[in-house]
Structure 1
Amino acid sequence: MIFVQSSRRSHLFITTCMVVLFSGSHFSVAAQETQPLKVAIVGLEHGHVEGFLSQLPKHTAVQLVGIADANTELWQKYGKKYSLPDTLFYKSEANMIEKTRPQAVLVYTSIGEHRHAIEIAAPYGVSVMVEKPLTISLEDALAIRKAARDHKIQVLVNYETTWYTSNRAAYEEVREGRIGEIRRVVVHDGHQGPKEINVPPEFLNWLTDPEQNGAGALYDFGCYGVDLMTWMMHGETPLTVTAVVNHDKPHLYPKVDDDSTITLQYPRAQAVIMGSWNWPFGRKDMEVYGATGYAITVAADQIRIRHEHDAEEHTTTAPALPARERDSLSYLSAVLRGEIVPKGDLTALDTNVIVMQILDAARESARTGRTVKLNKLGD
């Protein structure tokens, strides 16, 4: 009797320990999964860095561990404005990575410096998110793809319009077949001009330098529509690219275009992409016309839709995106946790290598006045 009771007590003790052990393991895994992503900034020359710094205090998904930029005046500017400690700042990207060991770097350099920043981060196994577009040439894009593959890192491209619920709703209209096969897409992006809207001087300097920006409005705003069209066409390469650019304000932008139109021809569809620094107001909207209906985005969250047999169009609020896809930082965190596989989406490297093929061809078309024929890129 005493032996049986002792056995029962032993069994109860072991069972209790196992429950505690496995519960502890569960909480440990959960804690690891909810740890903020360690990120660092490379470059302070891109004005979009303010969007990141302003949302940082409210964003629990990431922790800023370092900032690399050789310009100490920019350290002081942003350090003071956002109450950043001096210990965050480094002059060298490599040194910062070695000291702080981030899981990802957010690149806010000029577009022309993207390849360099990625090729520094890649050997450390550090993933990268850059501001749109990916880079300034197809050659650079292919080099970036090689670095990402060789070192098994993620390279992602942040476009503001990726997080517009209206764009996702338009995409779903096509994917679900509600407006039929795509026939024509028209995209408008841009604003009054970087000088007119008073972008910071360090931002304006490289935006208006073709060696650092690739072009003017053609790259700065044409990239949005090219990205959207490549996404909706599931990575299909267009047959031809034709582009024209204007220099309507040479007194302000003597070195780069300030207005652009890109036409993409597919076997059964066409896209017209208008990126400009000459709109009377800022805009980012898209018209998608299918064989049986259309979807027209209105700002970030509204969409006008007309289906076959509808007497008239109706306007609706687009459904919210999943939490991990509502902004660039949540998305980046989800990708690095393995919750999202970024293949074929707006931010993905495979999509954006094709975007660069198209933009490179558009720049050549504008330069020569000729249509450029494209072939599918090899892997």
Structure 2
Amino acid sequence: MKLLFSITISVLAIFPLLAQEKPLKLGIAGLTHGHVGWILGREHQSDINMVGIFEQNTELAQRMSKQYGFSMDIVFDSMEEMLKATKPDAVAAFGNIKDHLSVVEACAPKGIHVMVEKPLAISLEDAKKMEALAIKHGIHLLTNYETSWYETNFKAKSLLEEGTIGGLRKAIIRDGHKGPKKIGVSNEFFEWLTHPELNGGGAIMDFGCYGANLMTWLMKGKKPNSVTAVTQQLQSENNPNVDDDATIILTYDTAMAILEPSWNWPIGRKDMELYGETGALYSDNANQLRIRLSTGYSSYTEETLFFKDRPIPYDDPFSVFAAVINGSLVLEKYGPYTLENNMIAMEILQASLDSSKSGKTIHLE
């Protein structure tokens, strides 16, 4: 009897492990986004099985097939054909931002979960359609940001909530690089990244979304009271149809945020500064965080902390996606990946676009 009991317990203990090891069948929608290399070049792990790719540009697909070693047999020139032939559990979108809506329109009715690259959509109108489809059909709709992998950002939020620097009064979030042309993105990526309809804008959308996402997370879903944005075009020869530099000011009841998305930074950056009543936190990059505490008028103490990458599964967006779908991970409310966060981020981005075009401050309801 003891032997039978022991065997039963052992088998029951193994079942969850077997369930977790069943790989997620993942389809890829588009290959034109420069970030697609994150999944194509991902080291083999048991949680994801890439079963199909939708890409109409055959030359691009063949080029990437040679670079990353996937078979052209899994490439389809129709989204519907890819979904029908491969029956994925989930799809990751790596085309232009405008296509995010059509990906959700194709996947949601079939119960297929979707993760898009930031931002969620090109407009608040499209975002609302995507949200309605996700809710109606009960799918997960995640948005991936590189800064979601930064352990420093999570430590900064924790220190802020612990009261290390007192109440938050000002945040400055800077994101960007020298510009798509100057950093040498592919022609396929450049064509839509600098297209006002396919990307929704220039730097204001491409990098303004990071600050909108992070502030919504830090403020636990509270919307800003107002949004004021100014854009410029400092590289008209490279970005003739869109802005390449922006400043966005968000006001809250007790704080202000300044977002500085730009394609004119001399050095690529994704950093955040949080200023409280008694000190400041500087999330310099993914691994370095500085803490300054006031000791007088201009004097302070400073401590620099270094962190490794986030623990599994948070170190990899596809691991997060798989874990959310299989139920082993529940994302925190208004966390960076969540739909609820990114709907507010889209409100901020839409207001930023409207403000920059009208020259007026936009007040959110």
Q: 1:8 is matched with which residue?
A: none
Q: 1:161 is matched with which residue?
A: 147
Q: 1:260 is matched with which residue?
A: 246
3-state SS of 1:52 partner: helix
**Within 5 Å, which residues of 2 pair with 1:32-111?**
32-55=19-42, 57-111=43-97
3-state SS of 1:274 partner: strand
Query: Which of 309, 321, 327 is 1:332 aligned to?
Result: 321
Q: 2:166 is matched with which residue?
A: 180
**How far apart are 1:19 and its partner, in Å?**
4.1
**How far apart are 1:18 and its partner, in Å?**
5.2
1:346 matched to 2:336? yes
CA contact (8 A) 2:248 2:260 kept: yes
Deviations 1:321-359 (A, max 9, x none): 331211201211221122322331011000000000000
Q: 2:128 is matched with which residue?
A: 142
Q: 2:16 is matched with which residue?
A: 29
Q: Which amino acid aligns with 1:313?
A: E
CA distance in 2, matches of 1:24, 1:148: 36
Query: Which of 275, 281, 301 is 2:287 aligned to?
Result: 301
**How far apart are 1:298 and its partner, in Å?**
1.5
RMSD, matched Cα: 1.5
Q: Which amino acid aligns with 1:234?
A: K
**How far apart are 1:50 and its partner, in Å?**
1.1
CA distance in 1, matches of 2:300, 2:277: 16
3-state SS of 2:165 partner: coil
**How far apart are 1:59 and its partner, in Å?**
3.2
The alignment of Structure 1 onto Structure 2 pairs a total of residues equal to 361
Q: TM-score, normalised by structure 2?
A: 0.95
1:368 matched to 2:358? yes
Q: Which amino acid aligns with 2:227?
A: V
**How far apart are 1:30 and its partner, in Å?**
1.6
3-state SS of 1:195 partner: helix
Deviations 1:222-265 (A, max 9, x none): 11111111110011111100000011111111100010000001
CA contact (8 A) 1:169 1:319 kept: no
**How far apart are 1:308 and its partner, in Å?**
4.9
Q: 1:9 is matched with which residue?
A: none
**How far apart are 1:372 and its partner, in Å?**
0.5
Q: Which amino acid aligns with 1:91?
A: D
**How far apart are 1:320 and its partner, in Å?**
5.0
CA distance in 2, matches of 1:268, 1:329: 36
**Stretch of structure 1 that moved more, 237-246 or 320-329:** 320-329
CA distance in 2, matches of 1:29, 1:287: 42
Q: Which amino acid aligns with 2:306?
A: T
Q: TM-score, normalised by structure 1?
A: 0.92
CA distance in 2, matches of 1:364, 1:353: 16
Q: Which amino acid aligns with 1:135?
A: A
CA distance in 2, matches of 1:18, 1:96: 47
Deviations 1:288-333 (A, max 9, x none): 0111211001121100102354842111113653312112012112
**Within 5 Å, which residues of 2 pair with 1:217-296?**
217-296=203-282
CA distance in 1, matches of 2:348, 2:236: 26
Deviations 1:133-167 (A, max 9, x none): 00011111111111110000000000001101111
CA distance in 2, matches of 1:105, 1:146: 18
3-state SS of 1:143 partner: helix
CA contact (8 A) 1:169 1:318 kept: no
**How far apart are 1:44 and its partner, in Å?**
0.7
Gapped runs of 5+ residues in structure 1? 1-11
Q: Which amino acid aligns with 1:39?
A: L
**How far apart are 1:24 and its partner, in Å?**
2.9
CA distance in 2, matches of 1:224, 1:58: 29
**How far apart are 1:37 and its partner, in Å?**
1.7
**How far apart are 1:58 and its partner, in Å?**
3.5
CA distance in 1, matches of 2:189, 2:29: 14
**How far apart are 1:101 and its partner, in Å?**
1.7
CA distance in 2, matches of 1:171, 1:58: 32
**Stretch of structure 1 that moved more, 30-39 or 364-373:** 30-39
CA distance in 2, matches of 1:273, 1:218: 9
Gapped runs of 5+ residues in structure 2? none
Which of the pair has more CA radius of gyration? 1
**How far apart are 1:132 and its partner, in Å?**
0.3
- Identical columns (%): 42
